[in-house]
Amino acid sequence: MAWVCFTLGMKPRFFFCIALIALLALPAAAQVKVAQRTDRIVIDVDGKPFSDFFIGADVMKPYLHPLRSASGKIVTRHYPMESIEGESKDHPHHRGLWFTHGDVNGYDFWANEPSQKGAVKNGKGKVVTKKVLDVKSGKKSGSVKALFEWQTMDGKALLTETRDMIFYSDPKLRTIDFDIRLTAVEKVTFGDTKEGVFAIRLASPLEEKRAGTGGKMINAEGKVGEKLVWGSQSPWVDYSGQLEGEALGIAIMDHPTSTRYPTYWHARAYGLFASNIWGLHDFIDKTKDGSQTVEPGQSLRFRIRVVIHPGETAAADIAGLYKKFAAMK
């Protein structure tokens, strides 16, 4: 241990010694900073903005917006939170990154914006923030844990949702781990519909439909493009393209411990990128029924990783990154 000593005053002399090792041991600045605000939780990674988690009373569902790459580019669509010239303005319920479903006991938690019409059977539902349980910053990662209720518009609770999110520091990647538990308050049926579930709306330049310049989706089995990926079953899908002169992609990965692993994919050429285990009627054929009933007190678990990466799928070694994720207990 090294010491630095100095004197103060003339006589008598007082000696003050400081251990250099103690100075060096002072806490370093957090690389992942997570800060709670009134209506959102702000996440910064490596000194740069990454995303905001919107949980205010005025939102119909919690969502992350925007998502940024390590280079700072926004990889999610701005609309409907912001209006950007030249950007598509369809599907106003596509807000950044979100997790809901289009038929829960006949209530629509998916297309549930106040401006929307045509909700299924019993009308719209709303995911209400009950409590932020924990917020942590850290050198290598930061985390958020929160409790939500899936309610009918008259306030009746159908489900409770506990969501853990971990945000990681990395010079090239932006990675988020989700651990989501849905617990039935009453007997609940998740209806068979393609409208769900874990979803991201990509920035317009990444859309596959943009001829010659758009993105490309590929799954773990090597199937490429919407026609082959949509409705298929696979543990991961990567959607990559060019954004502001940089090759960037987003992968969604399903962990082997998730309910009904591996998931099916509601991945669209117009930029919707979602996993959905309850859409078999639409994904396969009309004879299938992907609905699932959960008794009161029973839970479903979803473990999902999102990786925002530079380069295309092979260059980013998405298959290798998935193996590491799948091996996590």
pLDDT in tens, 170-192: 999 999 999 999 999 999 999 99
Q: At residue 25, does pLDDT exceed 50?
A: no
294: buried, middle or exposed (CB in 10 Å: 19+, 13-18, 0-12)?
A: buried
Do 201 and 273 contact (CB within 8 A), yes or no?
A: yes
Please give the pLDDT value at position 245: 95
Residue with tokens 């090759």: 247
Domains of the chain: 30-326 (2.70.98)
Euclidean distance between CA atoms 246 and 6, whole angstroms: 55
Q: What is the pTM of this model?
A: 0.91
Euclidean distance between CA atoms 321 and 23, whole angstroms: 37
Q: How far apart are the first and last CA of the chain?
A: 40
Instruction: List pLDDT tens digits, range 286-300.
Output: 999 999 999 999 999
Give the mean model confidence (pLDDT) for residues 69-86: 95
Do 80 and 66 contact (CB within 8 A), yes or no?
A: no
Q: At residue 22, does pLDDT exceed 70?
A: no
Q: Give the confidence band of 119 by pLDDT, cuts at 50, 70, 90.
A: low
Euclidean distance between CA atoms 79 and 74, whole angstroms: 12
Euclidean distance between CA atoms 324 and 305, whole angstroms: 11
- State residue 323 phi and psi, 5-degree precision: -55, -40
Higher-scoring residue by pLDDT: 315, 5: 315
Give the mean model confidence (pLDDT) for residues 308-324: 98
Instruction: List pLDDT tens digits, range 203-260.
Output: 999 999 987 788 999 999 999 999 999 999 999 999 999 999 999 999 999 999 999 9
Do 164 and 173 contact (CB within 8 A), yes or no?
A: no
Q: How far is CA 174 from CA 49, 91, 197, in A?
A: 11, 26, 21
